[in-house]
Structure 1
Amino acid sequence: MNALNKTIRLFLDSIGRRDEYEFYLNKFQSDKAACFALLCPDLGSIEAGAEVLAFDLHFLLRLELVPAILLCGEKALEMKEALSSEPIFAFQPLEQGSVPLFIQQSRMAEKVPVLVGERHGLEESLLTLLPETATRVHFVRAAGGLKNPAGELLPYIYTHRKNAPEIEELEFDYPALGRKLLEQRPGVHLSVTSPINLLQEIFTVKGAGTLFRKGSELRHFVAMEGVERARLLVLLEASFRKNLSSTGFLENVSHAYIEKDYRGAVLLEEHPAGLYLSKFAVGREARGEGLALELWREVCENHGALFWRSNVANPFNSWYDKQADGYHTCGKWQIFWRGIPASSISDCIAYCCARDEDFQSTPPS
């Protein structure tokens, strides 16, 4: 990653955690697509936030990340007119000339390329441009991420899962488009956010919008039968960012839930009070995709009584607190339980406090 000056660093610090934005910045700068991302705004987001959008895009240019804006359909010219007041934008009709060349020329001129296709639909245009032009698409909507009828944000929509959540009435069918793109252009990143939350959506694991995903293939193993241990150990050490001091805990695993590509895993052990959640690991790149939530739901659907411990400094504890029936702090550990009988809670706490650590205290070099 190129050295960041103090002003840029301070601004990124205000958006999210340093390890997160450095991870994403390195990832984006190494991408081989013509541009870093395609932004597809609606008219409302431009009318309400053209200046905010221009500021954020200027910041991305300073990070050597060149996004392209895609304006399609009957309102394309109206959106172009609204953006024309900002000098950072360069415009080209979608059907005219080479898109990669236009993006390259815009990059050299320190401009944001805007592709205008008033005679083209959004679906048609994205299917043409992905993945050579970009592998990320951010739909920028004045109302921000998609919400349920109660107005609560839906962080993830799994386009290929049954029992889809209820969604607010939409001016455009984003879920249908997301499903089509994920089917025909697998591997692309699709999300919906607002102009004011664009950078937070881009540079943080939690994001600030709605992410479309097909849904992961999760595999359930009884004990460790069939588990590729070497791949699992790589995941655990990468996720916890520590070397394992021993692998003996694997012999006690009674249930393992593992994403098919070993990007996430939950390991459970038998205990008289229920199941002890020994390890909950998700690779860094998968953390912003909702894989942790998928794993958690799968485990909770199959097992009613769980308890686990987490370091008191773990920023994930606030999420654990929402999933648990209660917790107790014991030294460096915060101990959580869910579905555990009240008479067994003290035994679970004692077990967690006495259990040895499986990781070395220092991170790997």
Structure 2
Amino acid sequence: MSAPNKSYDPVEVEALKPEAIERMRDQALAAIAAAADLDALTHVKTAHTGGTSPLALANREIGALPPHAKADAGKRVGQARGAVNQALAARQTELEAERDARVLAEETVDVTLPYDRRPAGARHPLTTLSDRIEDIFVAMGYEVAEGPEIEAEWFNFDALNFPPDHPARGPQDTFFVQDTEDPAALEESGVVLRTHTSPVQVRSLVTRDLPVYVICPGRVYRPDALDATHTPVFHQVELLAVDEGLTMADLKGTLDHMVVSLFGEGMTTRLRPNHFPFTEPSAEMDMLCYVCRGESVGNPDRPCRTCASEGWIELGGCGMVNPKVLIACGVDPEKYSGFAFGFGIERMLMFRHNVEDMRDIVEGDVRFTLPFGMEI
């Protein structure tokens, strides 16, 4: 039986020679230093510290050495692998710092710039105001009614007690729709662009069961020149209530509730006698000046430009529904009564927001609509 080979020198194993281990270490360190980014460093780490890396294979050779030789060989390999791992960690820290600095430079955000280059939109204030008025009356139990903008003369005039020779039925106040090639037959076409939303009230009485409580907003047309206070296309809102026992007191209470809802507490209305074909008795509706609340009347120290120091602002027309209109719509005036009123939404918008020129409302400039925002 032979004795153990105590004279075996581990440096004679090629992979465990000091110069071989140093070469493996230096190659690994050079590759680590040359890694330009984290992806390249990952490949270097696999090549020089993985299970098939030169140092890992050399480490396996230690197991075949005699016990007294393993310590020295393990120390040399361990020191080399430690140097490589230390270099890897240092290089990874450097590359991560470079990456973070680059990301901050490339993806920096200037928080002072607009967050959205696409400008924000806004609802047109006429739409917003019309919706608000509708909400006020829907909350009171009214329904929103609509009708055609191209209307028959019967609905626009005859059913509303406009006689055939009434000035409003002339071309100076009404757009007639020509349905023939003969210009002379224009006024005989019997079709007009509605001059008010009252035809919607007539249609409501004809088609709905009584009682009727409707609010009628919409576009209307009149041959007016466009200026600071007039436009040929504008918006009206009219209200109709027909039921048993309605009086002017109900009309007055409804008007007061409307102006309070639109302009705030303390607002009220007054009625001045007037004449309209479709109401009897009829009245002009004024509301308390929303700026001075009547305090400018007789007070030279506090003049009010809004109401010209009169204390009241004219809003629109109103009155009890004329019995002739009820009869034309098939309603018994002995049993039912009703009230109605109407006003221009543009005029109301000018009051509420101090708009001085109606052309600003209709010209479509976004600089006018944007300050009103997106109220819903």
TM-score (norm. length: structure 2): 0.21
The structure in which a higher percent of residues are strand is 1
Instruction: Select the structure that is richer in helix.
Output: 2
TM-score, normalised to structure 1, is 0.21
